[in-house]
Structure 1
Amino acid sequence: MTTLTIATAQIPVGCDPAANGAAVREMMTAASSAGARLVQFPEGAISGYPGDRAAKQALADWNVGWAAIREQLGRVAALAGDLGLWVVVGGAHRLTPPNRPHNSLYVISDRGEPVGRYDKRRCSHTEIGEWYSPGFEPCVFDVDGFRFGCALCIEINFPELFLDYAASGVDCVLFSSYSHDPIFEVLARAHAAACTVWISVSVPAQCGAAMPSGVIGPHGYRLGSRTADGAPGLVCVELDRDDPALDVALHKARPWRARARAGDVYEARRVDDPRSADKSRF
């Protein structure tokens, strides 16, 4: 297939898994009605994220509603199967005490089955010191001939993660965040253009003013976006490999940069010239 429609959601994310889950399912239904095959949600979309005081205290006290989180994930998975919709949704993942949980993105297939989970690898100083255990593996999965990777929040500051995904043949990186830092917008657009991949952005409504949810094309420009006022809503975008606006990025820059990174094209043209070796003359 040369096209695939995906949706990215901007919803309020709080500390109540039931309220979070209801907001997720509402957007899932809207995404399915819009013809999307996959819908993405923010960091901590089910469990909440310690970006607000209540969630922070809950993690610090280990007073996390694990049963409620598991129930909501089950309901999300059941609806995904009913709708025939792939879902990528954020939430804390419980480990065996006293190990801290992972900060994760759950990948749920259109059959309503959990088929993967991305555990945040580059946790922040506070996250690793107080709240979470790090993950160590990328997450790559395929939907209808398009390959997806996952990244979370502060990982936008680590270009090697996006380069690794590009080297793995990923078409689109699903980037979910809970941040008020507007520089994330600049970095996401730069990674999309440098790696020639789509980057889908999903943030909570309360963070949307700094970087609204939407989809950035492989040329570094937004193809769809929520409004800058941070209002909740959904963005649906068709990933189109034959879009003329993306021809240079996808069909010229991407293969050339892959060849350039391999280095063979340059090694084959290495010259044995004293004027090249001597760096001390004009």
Structure 2
Amino acid sequence: MLSIALCQLTSSDIPAENLEAIRHGVARAAAGGARVVVFPEAAMARFGGPLKPLAEPLEGPWAKGVAAIADEHEVLVVAGMFTPAEDGRVRNTLLVTGLGRHLGYHKIHLYDAFGFRESDTVAPGDEPVTLAVDGITLGLATCYDIRFPELFRALADRGAAAVVVPTSWGAGEGKREQWEVLVRARALDSGCWVLGCGQADPVATGVEVNPKAPTGIGYSIVADGFGRVHAQLGPGPDLVVVEVDPAVTERARTATGALANRRLG
């Protein structure tokens, strides 16, 4: 079993403020027994403003600040940030730090959908990432990645029993319903636990944001490989700790045959 916390919050556009929010969230999660603490996509700074001036490398001060918090509480922290890309754009990066690790996953699928053009300012990654915590392998994905089942199956093929999905889900008609269906569908596709951790809805907390930016709807959700929902938050800032059992992953894959019986790909 692995205890994973989802910390749903509303990021500001000031990285130092968001670092303090991470400090508070990690302390709460660790006190609740979490071994892994997950924050949303864009936890470093919300979408809606220029990203390039905020981008820092994984060895920069913001990521090192998160690493120090993770080390203090002896947990692994996953949090969305922005790192410089070689072509002048930035990368939408998941910082993974603590328990002797310090690495990043660069979002593969960019949000060129629903009228947005993430690729104008963000360069895509190209490599799935997994890592083991206490003998349980976790996969990483970010927001729009969840619309692509092949990524989740690739992570399953690399041994992932669970996939954490930090998100800043764009609001709009039917978008909450899509989010909930997609988390459960990717769990069924791969047999993995899928833990989607979203930015809280700024409207729920009275925060003014750029209405043209995907700044979150909340409703973080956890589903197992049978598509069963184990936890879901509401629209506002909140925290939940879930026990992930890899035995459920094995039972789901055996029962559904969704990986073993593939004929294409």
Look up the match of 1:237: 242
Look up the match of 2:207: none
Residue deviations 1:154-193, cap 9 Å, x none?
Answer: 1111111111111111111111111122212111111102
SS of the aligned residue for 2:259 comes to: helix
| CA 1:12–1:49: 2 relative to 1, 3 Å | closer
Q: Which has the larger radius of gyration?
A: 1
Residues 150-189 of structure 1: matches in 2 within 5 Å? 150-179=140-169, 180=171, 181-182=175-176, 183-189=178-184
| CA 1:161–1:146: 2 relative to 1, 3 Å | same
1:24 to 10, 22, 36: 22
Residue deviations 1:96-143, cap 9 Å, x none?
Answer: 5x52110010110224x41x2110111122111x21111110111000
Amino acid across the alignment from 1:249: A
Q: Give the drift of 1:242.
A: 4.7
Q: Give the drift of 1:66.
A: 4.3
Residues 114-153 of structure 1: matches in 2 within 5 Å? 114=102, 116-125=103-112, 126-128=117-119, 130-153=120-143
Number of corresponding residues: 242
Amino acid across the alignment from 2:108: R
Amino acid across the alignment from 1:26: H
State whether structure 2 residue 84 is matched by structure 1 residue 79.
no
Amino acid across the alignment from 2:24: E
Separation in structure 2 between the aligned mates of residue 31 and residue 149 of structure 1, nearest angstrom:
20
State whether structure 2 residue 76 is matched by structure 1 residue 89.
no
Residue deviations 1:45-99, cap 9 Å, x none?
Answer: 01x242x3xx2xx23xx433649x9333222101111111001110011235x52
Amino acid across the alignment from 1:163: R
Structure having the higher helix fraction is 1
Decide whether the 8 Å contact of 1:149 with 1:165 is kept in 2.
yes
Q: Give the drift of 1:14.
A: 1.8
Q: Give the drift of 1:196.
A: 1.0
1:63 to 26, 47, 53: 53
1:222 to 207, 229, 244: 229
Decide whether the 8 Å contact of 1:146 with 1:171 is kept in 2.
yes
| CA 1:154–1:247: 2 relative to 1, 3 Å | closer
Separation in structure 1 between the aligned mates of residue 250 and residue 218 of structure 2, nearest angstrom:
26
Look up the match of 1:104: 93
Give the 4+ runs in structure 1 shifted more than 4 A: 207-211
Give the structure-2-normalised TM-score.
0.83
Of all paired residues, the percent bearing the same amino acid is: 30
CA RMSD of aligned residues (A): 2.3
SS of the aligned residue for 2:21 comes to: helix
1:253 to 239, 242, 255: 255
Separation in structure 2 between the aligned mates of residue 6 and residue 157 of structure 1, nearest angstrom:
23
Q: Give the drift of 1:259.
A: 2.8
State whether structure 2 residue 43 is matched by structure 1 residue 42.
no
Look up the match of 1:204: 199
SS of the aligned residue for 1:259 comes to: coil
SS of the aligned residue for 2:180 comes to: helix
| CA 1:99–1:247: 2 relative to 1, 3 Å | closer
Give the structure-1-normalised TM-score.
0.79
Separation in structure 2 between the aligned mates of residue 140 and residue 241 of structure 1, nearest angstrom:
15
Decide whether the 8 Å contact of 2:200 with 2:218 is kept in 1.
no
